[in-house]
Amino acid sequence: MGRKIAAHYALIEGELRRNIVVEVDDMRQIVSITQTESLDNMAGVEFHPGILIPGMINLHCHLELSYLRGSIAEGSGFAGFARAIGQVRGNFSTEQRIRAASLWDSVMWQEGVEAVLDIANDDLVMGVKEQSQIEYHTLFEAFGLGLTSLESHKKMAQNYNHSTLTPHSTYSLQDSIFREACISNNSTISIHLLESRDEIELYDNRGSLAEWYQRMGWECDFLSYGSPARRVAESVASNRRTVCVHGCMATADDISLLDSHFQGGVTWALCPESNRFISRIKPPVELLRSLGARVGIGTDSLASARSLSMIDNMRQLGDIPLAELLTWATLNGARALGIDDRMGEIAVGKRPGLVIIEGADLSSLRLTEQSCARRLV
Ligand SMILES: [Zn+2]
């Protein structure tokens, strides 16, 4: 049996519209969208107070780090966070890690996440993801200045559906292995980019990353690119679908450079909760909007977030028109993953999932502290 669902507003074609009835069949496919005069006395229609949206796309997550929730102090800064994660990582059993991933996977599903671009360093929680109702796209991450081979990454990627390789960042990999990780990717590339000032200063041989590398005796063979954004533009083929994660320090020049390099543009995956947690900084939302950049939303991991709530991250992005903000969390993520032919918007023939946002201010169309998302379909 199919269902007919209505709410105060529904996100349709990028707009918040009233008096919409969405009909979905028992395979979760949308079979009709109708606009009526009024929703009063419509027999057989479920009415949910709030805003009806398609299932959300979490464009940046590390589900495998869910066990680290509450283990790392807030505000420790970029280098401090990296050190702290190394210190606490060994304190947990395999079972604890799997249990945490399983728990947070089901929380994300209930809160309306339909697909995740998920970063992985090993395959410990791949079983959780394979059994999940969420569609995970896993990127096995190449990481480490001493890394010289991607054989183990390639083997892991071969073993699982929707999985491939990606480079971690422009500061953690030498030149040739960074390029090889991009070439080996057969889906969406995701790069942690311009999260902190230290990443930029490294290219001038200063700042905390440069000092740390010097202390450890590690050399970088990629500093001649001059900047993180230039390294990406000169190392990644222009026809690749690419997600840049964080972008807190991105300038107008960086954003324009990457947009003009990539034929289909780039998507900036903003994770404001993680930025607040680690460094008390904010992504440059207004700059990205003013340049017409494409934005998606991620939660990052529970090592640097209180929750994996997409709504919490949206709320922290500030006063963005709600229809636009919701499009970032849905269709833009689906486009970045190349799955917008079946997910990311409420449209006939698609199977996006249906989610109700409750507790929003419906007169000003803003998210409030009470707003939350709940899966209907
Ligand atoms: Zn990350």
- If you measure from the C-alpha of residue 149 to the centroid of ligand 1, how many angstroms do you get, rounded to a whole number? 22
| CA–CA distances in Å: residue 328 to residues 194, 283, 310, 315 | 20, 14, 11, 12
- If you measure from the C-alpha of residue 334 to the centroid of ligand 1, how many angstroms do you get, rounded to a whole number? 18
Residue 41 confidence (pLDDT) above 80: no
- State the pLDDT confidence band at 79, using cuts at 50, 70 and 90: confident
- If you measure from the C-alpha of residue 136 to the centroid of ligand 1, how many angstroms do you get, rounded to a whole number? 15
First to last CA, the chain: 13
pLDDT (tens digit per residue) in 159-187:
999 999 999 999 999 999 999 999 999 99
Residue 109 near residue 377, CB atoms below 8 Å? no
Structure tokens at 253: 């020049």
pLDDT (tens digit per residue) in 184-242:
999 999 999 999 999 999 999 999 999 999 999 999 999 999 999 999 999 999 999 99
- If you measure from the C-alpha of residue 361 to the centroid of ligand 1, how many angstroms do you get, rounded to a whole number? 31
Reported in sequence order, the residue ranges of 219-338 that DSSP labels E, i.e. its strands, are: 241-246, 266-270, 294-297
18-27, 77-86, 264-273, 310-319: range with lowest mean pLDDT: 77-86
Residue 9 confidence (pLDDT) above 90: yes
Q: What is the pLDDT of residue 82?
A: 83
Q: What is the pLDDT of residue 83?
A: 83
- If you measure from the C-alpha of residue 168 to the centroid of ligand 1, how many angstroms do you get, rounded to a whole number? 8
- If you measure from the C-alpha of residue 116 to the centroid of ligand 1, how many angstroms do you get, rounded to a whole number? 13
pLDDT (tens digit per residue) in 336-354:
999 999 999 999 999 999 9
d(C-alpha 279, C-alpha 85), whole Å = 15
- If you measure from the C-alpha of residue 117 to the centroid of ligand 1, how many angstroms do you get, rounded to a whole number? 10
Q: What is the pLDDT of residue 1?
A: 78
Q: What is the pLDDT of residue 98?
A: 98
- If you measure from the C-alpha of residue 300 to the centroid of ligand 1, how many angstroms do you get, rounded to a whole number? 5
- If you measure from the C-alpha of residue 271 to the centroid of ligand 1, how many angstroms do you get, rounded to a whole number? 9
- If you measure from the C-alpha of residue 186 to the centroid of ligand 1, how many angstroms do you get, rounded to a whole number? 20
- If you measure from the C-alpha of residue 270 to the centroid of ligand 1, how many angstroms do you get, rounded to a whole number? 10
pLDDT (tens digit per residue) in 305-322:
999 999 999 999 999 999
- If you measure from the C-alpha of residue 274 to the centroid of ligand 1, how many angstroms do you get, rounded to a whole number? 9
- If you measure from the C-alpha of residue 216 to the centroid of ligand 1, how many angstroms do you get, rounded to a whole number? 24
Residue 113 confidence (pLDDT) above 80: yes
Q: What is the pLDDT of residue 90?
A: 87
pLDDT (tens digit per residue) in 52-61:
999 999 999 9
- If you measure from the C-alpha of residue 217 to the centroid of ligand 1, how many angstroms do you get, rounded to a whole number? 26
- State the pLDDT confidence band at 38, using cuts at 50, 70 and 90: confident
d(C-alpha 193, C-alpha 258), whole Å = 11
Q: Is CATH 2.30.40.10 correct for 1-55+343-377?
A: yes
- If you measure from the C-alpha of residue 33 to the centroid of ligand 1, how many angstroms do you get, rounded to a whole number? 37
pLDDT more than 70, % of the chain = 100
Domain residue limits, the chain: 1-55+343-377, 56-308
Task: Give the residue-averaged pLDDT of 142-159.
Answer: 97
- State the pLDDT confidence band at 42, using cuts at 50, 70 and 90: confident
Residue 29 confidence (pLDDT) above 80: yes
More confident residue, 300 or 85: 300
- If you measure from the C-alpha of residue 296 to the centroid of ligand 1, how many angstroms do you get, rounded to a whole number? 14
- If you measure from the C-alpha of residue 5 to the centroid of ligand 1, how many angstroms do you get, rounded to a whole number? 36
**Which CATH number is associated with domain 56-308?**
3.20.20.140
pTM greater than 0.75 (yes/no): yes
d(C-alpha 193, C-alpha 2), whole Å = 44
Pairs from 361-365 (Cβ < 8 Å, separation ≥ 24): 362/8, 362/9, 362/50, 362/51, 365/9, 365/16, 365/321, 365/322, 365/323
- If you measure from the C-alpha of residue 59 to the centroid of ligand 1, how many angstroms do you get, rounded to a whole number? 10
- If you measure from the C-alpha of residue 301 to the centroid of ligand 1, how many angstroms do you get, rounded to a whole number? 7
Angle (deg, nearest 10), helices 78-88 and 207-216: 50
Looking at every residue in the chain, the average pLDDT score rounds to 97
Q: What is the pLDDT of residue 185?
A: 97
- If you measure from the C-alpha of residue 329 to the centroid of ligand 1, how many angstroms do you get, rounded to a whole number? 17
- If you measure from the C-alpha of residue 12 to the centroid of ligand 1, how many angstroms do you get, rounded to a whole number? 30
- If you measure from the C-alpha of residue 61 to the centroid of ligand 1, how many angstroms do you get, rounded to a whole number? 6
- If you measure from the C-alpha of residue 57 to the centroid of ligand 1, how many angstroms do you get, rounded to a whole number? 15
Q: What is the pLDDT of residue 253?
A: 98
26-40, 77-91, 133-147: range with lowest mean pLDDT: 77-91
- If you measure from the C-alpha of residue 46 to the centroid of ligand 1, how many angstroms do you get, rounded to a whole number? 38
Q: What is the pLDDT of residue 128?
A: 98
- If you measure from the C-alpha of residue 24 to the centroid of ligand 1, how many angstroms do you get, rounded to a whole number? 35
- If you measure from the C-alpha of residue 304 to the centroid of ligand 1, how many angstroms do you get, rounded to a whole number? 9
Task: Give the residue-averaged pLDDT of 46-65.
Answer: 98
- If you measure from the C-alpha of residue 142 to the centroid of ligand 1, how many angstroms do you get, rounded to a whole number? 13
C-alpha count within 13 angstroms, C-beta hemisphere, residue 165: 21
